[in-house]
Copies of this chain bind each other. A is one copy, B any other.
Amino acid sequence: MSLTHAILVLLTDCAQSGYDLAKQFDGSVGFFWQASHQQIYRELGKLEAQQWVEVEAIAQAGRPDKKLYHLTELGKQHLISWMEQPCDLSRTREALLVKMFAGNLVPRDVILQELERHHDLHTKQLALYRDIEQRHFANPQALPIEAQFRYLTLRKGIGYEADWLAWCEEAIQLLS
């Protein structure tokens, strides 16, 4: 499993606390890998046990210590060897398609409304991605290499949402 690796990847950028990581899993990385803060804290404990990360405790007035997690050299090597290995295709679980599979059990309108609703949601997410694209990645060729990789993950998000949108439209048309 690669919640492990998703965390290590984030720590290559800079040392972070569990809290910081949780926020990243809510935004950028969260677009293709989700994790709750509880998962992250538990995983950080394991990573520390394996010596893939080191903790730096930062005392804070009237709060629990902030624990800054640093990637160790061992952790970095582990990450690199994971990156060098082929990974499986992801397996998705699409509740909407389960519904579609038995669409004839409910009135047509129920399905059409659900399709419209998803159409809306994907429209909004696509707009969000396109906005990020315009503001941060206007000229992809000119980007430094690290940014090109980030750009490509965004491009996948855009393709993903656009594909859903197109499909919703096709479905609505066929069923209307």
* Option from B5, B33, B103, B118 in Cβ contact (under 8 Å) with A89: B118
- Which listed segment binds B: A14-22, A62-70, A128-136, A147-155? A147-155
Verify A34–B88 contact, CB threshold 8 A.
no
Verify B32–A97 contact, CB threshold 8 A.
yes
What is the size, in residues, of chain A's interface with B at 8 Å between Cβ atoms? 63
Whether A95 is near chain B, meaning CB under 8 Å from some CB there, is yes
* Option from B99, B141, B149, B174 in Cβ contact (under 8 Å) with A104: B149
Verify B96–A114 contact, CB threshold 8 A.
no
Tell me the dominant secondary structure on chain A's binding face.
helix
Copies of this chain assembled into the complex: 2
- Which listed segment binds B: A40-48, A49-57, A156-164? A156-164
Interface centre among A96, A117, A121, A140 (most CB of B within 10 A): A96
Verify A159–B167 contact, CB threshold 8 A.
yes
Verify A12–B105 contact, CB threshold 8 A.
yes
A96 to B2, CA, bound (A): 10
A90 in contact with B95 given A80-B106, A84-B106, A155-B167 (CB within 8 Å): yes
